[in-house]
Amino acid sequence: MYPVIEWKEGAVVMLDQRQLPAVEKFIVHRNHLEVAKSIKEMVIRGAPAIGIAAAMGIALGVIGLRDDPNVKNPAYLDEKFKDIVAVITATRPTAVNLFWAATRMEKVFRENKTDFSRLQEKLIAAAIAMDKEDFAINRRIGENGQELLQSGYTVLTHCNAGALATGGYGTALGVIRAAREKGKDIKVIAGETRPYLQGARLTVWELQREQIPVTLIIDNAAGFVMKKGMVQAVIVGADRIAANGDTANKIGTYALAVLASYHGVPFYVAAPLSSIDLRTRDGDRIPIEERDADEVTQFCGQMTALPETRVFNPAFDITPASLITAIVTEEKVLHPPFATALASLKELRRK
């Protein structure tokens, strides 16, 4: 497992992903406000990892109430808990895992709120369990998805749907890892993923640590490498999958899906069930986060465009189900029509 996020001595420790690969620095969070800030500022990112951070952040928030004499008042505690959840879920609107994690923590809260001491323990245990569970889920996603990759394939991926985006191992990169563990010869092309460069900074770093062959390209070159026949599959993660299979993921994913379709390259989405949002009918209903202009007009304090520049900076886009070849989950690999396939997921129905 990667040191992405860890519950340690009553605090939440996160690897500061903004500084990779130049610096491996950890940030210690002692309350839920700090966790919310780190989610918003992308110290931690990637839908599954954000879910874990949210759970741990909520646990921290409740622990922070331990010296508050009013916590024995149920209405007061309910109100405080609601506030904590609101702070955590107000950070990033697109990834559904944030809300999924909050819902799970709410359940733990309801079941244990009459005993504050037990409540703290249970919330911490639930958050830690979600981290461990995510790792196991990724392994199952990898195991299921590796069937789609043949030895000799070069796989194009976007952003970082790797160990750094999850409890470790990764979704899209988990599939690649699993295929390689089966002895398949798989190479990777990573798009750098402007503006935040998760591909260049995180995916390349992660794969290089394990000697998985990876070539970095600018996002602009994706069409060119597909046209040259250099790519046999595209695989990406997901921030939210709607009931019809439309998928929100890092901005640029949609363009990759159009290009893959144009070149006859299969386009795969790898994501845990926690990224599936059956209550959202289709992609048009997924909120798309827009981020600050200075992510585009500055780079490490250097000006890349004049400060007064008008910028449109959506952080995600929607890939319609029609452009997706298969969705890989920990339960099984789903094929079109995705509305039916998603509705039939056993584990999802049970939850």
The residue ranges that bind its own copies (CB under 8 A) are 21-22, 189, 192-195, 197, 200-201, 204-205, 208, 213-225, 227, 250-252, 254-255, 258-259, 262, 296-297, 299-300, 302-306, 308-314, 317-318
Q: Which residues pair with 188 in a beta bridge?
A: 155, 214
Nearest to its own copies of 70, 220 (CB atom): 220
Residue 105 to residue 219: CA distance in whole angstroms: 38
Question: Within 13 A of 214's CA, how many CA atoms are on the CB side?
Answer: 26
Nearest to its own copies of 231, 273 (CB atom): 231
Nearest to its own copies of 85, 321 (CB atom): 321
Q: Which residues pair with 249 in a beta bridge?
A: 317
Q: Which residues of 242-265 are buried (b: 16+ CB within 10 A; e: fewer)?
A: bbbbbbbbbbbbbebbebbbeeeb
**Closest residue by Cα to residue 242 from 278, 288, 287, 289:** 278
Beta carbon of residue 185, minimum distance to its own copies (angstroms, whole number): 16
Is 239 among the catalytic positions?
A: yes
Which of these is catalytic: 239, 246, 277, 317? Answer: 239
Beta carbon of residue 141, minimum distance to its own copies (angstroms, whole number): 25
Beta carbon of residue 266, minimum distance to its own copies (angstroms, whole number): 17
Beta carbon of residue 173, minimum distance to its own copies (angstroms, whole number): 16
Nearest to its own copies of 33, 221 (CB atom): 221
**Closest residue by Cα to residue 120 from 77, 76, 166, 75:** 77
Residue 271 to residue 100: CA distance in whole angstroms: 14
Active site residues: 239
